[in-house]
Amino acid sequence: MVGGGGREHAIVRALARSARAPELLCAPGNAGIVSDARCLDLGAEDVRGVVSAAAAERVDLVVVGPEAPLVAGLVDALEAAGIAAFGPRAEGARIEGSKVHAKELMAAASVPTASHAVLRSRDEMLEHLARASYPAVLKADGLAAGKGVIIAATEAEAREAVDVFFVERRFGDTEVVVEEHLEGEELSVLALCDGENVLPLAPAQDYKRILDGDRGPNTGGMGSYSPVPGFDPARTQEIADAVHRPIVDLLRRRGTAYHGVLYAGLMITAAGPKVLEFNCRFGDPETQAVLPRLRSDLIELCLASRRRGGLVGVSAEFTDEWAVTVVLASRGYPGSSSRGEVISGLADAASIDGVEVTHAGTAIEDGEIVTAGGRVLNVTAVGPTPGEARDRAYQAAGLISFEGMQMRADIAARAVERVATA
């Protein structure tokens, strides 16, 4: 496993449930993953280091968690060294690495998305903003850890943001995508791809803002739940057919077959689902709510995705239970973030029936588990109804404490309400 966040911990746990009883290694892992896998002191983005460690350890399969090493070509480098890897090659990962490229693919494959323009300079952008409609959404082209999107309510706000991109250059030397603001509710649909076929996993909903009621700045994700009322397997398959399949078909025709997870972040608009973004990997924190419900063997699914056509006849089975993940973040997140705070209550939380605590930003200092900044922990609970899953997750989260801990109180409230009134 490559990576060291909550998503990687959830993937490690799912891999461990495989009938193959794998020996698991993780680079670099964290203070929680170390209980489930042997951690290697290697950065996830250290392509050469990961390749030589995988060779030295005679690893059978490398599963890559984060986008940065995928975009940097880790899978290409592993395959060149004869090591099997799960994830797209660099050319496929560009669907996340460049928003301009993603928009080009969506246009070429007729995938529904917001209308947009690509702006290359301050002057070009100012001219465009004078005739744009508002609110408008401004996005840096490259990877920005979820922080490269500005929603401008008015032209005045958008004009202020121009300098962020072209004067302050917060996102480096970048092109900017300005797109139509879509209204609706967001949905994440992750699908396994084998170069030809698309196998959607159970859908999830992510809570991106730091504060209850979807207020405050965007984060990497403050919680999630799965499944999502109104999106049964048939409806999810329809979305995958309209959104993921045309992209996989296009990339195959272009000679760059896509293998791995293709994640569509969607807005469910009055005119149907439209793509906000594609990611080239499992979502964080969606994965923490999706994988505990997976009953199929994740290693078999990863291996099948690597073979062209390998997913034919393969299904991904999920339990009928609901899963809710609450993220515990450090003080100051997503702006600054504190670290080194001692965490208490982990064992008590994990001992509650149906609860799993996965680590994101944790470290071990003087034998104690401490925060390491950003999102710190994920508390996931499963239950027969969204209400029970949510109550368990919050009961467990309430047992954990560290100085400055932030958590949203309304994760999965929408699902609880909808299922109760259905």
Interacting residues toward ligand AMP by CB under 6 A: 114, 137, 139, 146, 149, 179-182, 186, 208, 218, 265, 276-277
Q: Where does 296-392 show beta strands of DSSP type E?
A: 322-329, 355-359, 362-365, 368-371, 375-383
Question: Cβ neighbours of residue 345 under 8 Å, at least 6 residues apart?
Answer: 399, 400, 401
Find, among 242, 48, 299, 279, the residue nearest to 144 by Cα: 279
Bridge partner residues of 205 (DSSP): 225
Q: H or E element: which one contains 161? A: helix 155-166
* Alpha carbons 397 and 198: distance in angstroms, whole number: 35
Residue nearest to ligand AMP (CB): 277
Count residues near ligand GLY (CB under 6 A): 7
Q: Where does 171-314 show beta strands of DSSP type E?
A: 176-180, 185-194, 198-200, 205-206, 209-211, 215-218, 223-226, 259-269, 272-279
For residue 374, state whether it binds ligand GLY (rule: CB under 6 A).
no
The one segment of 30-38, 112-120, 276-284, 297-305 that binds ligand GLY by CB under 6 A: 276-284
Does the bond joining 66 to the residue before it have cis omega, within 30 degrees of 0? no
Q: H or E element: which one contains 164? A: helix 155-166
For residue 288, state whether it binds ligand GLY (rule: CB under 6 A).
no
Could you tell me the smallest distance in angstroms from the CB atom of residue 151 to ligand AMP? 6
Task: Pick the closer one to ligand GLY by CB: 175 or 284.
Answer: 284
Q: Which does 32 bind (CB under 5 to 8 A by kind): ligand AMP, ligand GLY, none?
A: none
Q: Which does 389 bind (CB under 5 to 8 A by kind): ligand GLY, ligand AMP, none?
A: none
For residue 8, state whether it binds ligand GLY (rule: CB under 6 A).
no
Task: Pick the closer one to ligand AMP by CB: 146 or 354.
Answer: 146
Question: Cβ neighbours of residue 256 under 8 Å, at least 6 residues apart?
Answer: 89, 91, 92
For residue 279, state whether it binds ligand GLY (rule: CB under 6 A).
yes
Could you tell me the smallest distance in angstroms from the CB atom of residue 305 to ligand AMP? 23
For residue 221, state whether it binds ligand GLY (rule: CB under 6 A).
yes
Cα separations in angstroms, 206 against 217, 326, 349, 395: 14, 10, 22, 20
Q: Which does 186 bind (CB under 5 to 8 A by kind): ligand AMP, ligand GLY, none?
A: ligand AMP
State the amino acid at position 392 in one-letter form: R
Could you tell me the smallest distance in angstroms from the CB atom of residue 295 to ligand GLY? 23
Q: Which does 357 bind (CB under 5 to 8 A by kind): ligand AMP, ligand GLY, none?
A: none
Task: Pick the closer one to ligand GLY by CB: 211 or 314.
Answer: 211
Q: Which does 137 bind (CB under 5 to 8 A by kind): ligand AMP, ligand GLY, none?
A: ligand AMP
Neighbours of 113 (CB within 10 A): 24
Binding site for ligand GLY (CB under 6 A): 146, 206, 221, 279, 283-284, 286
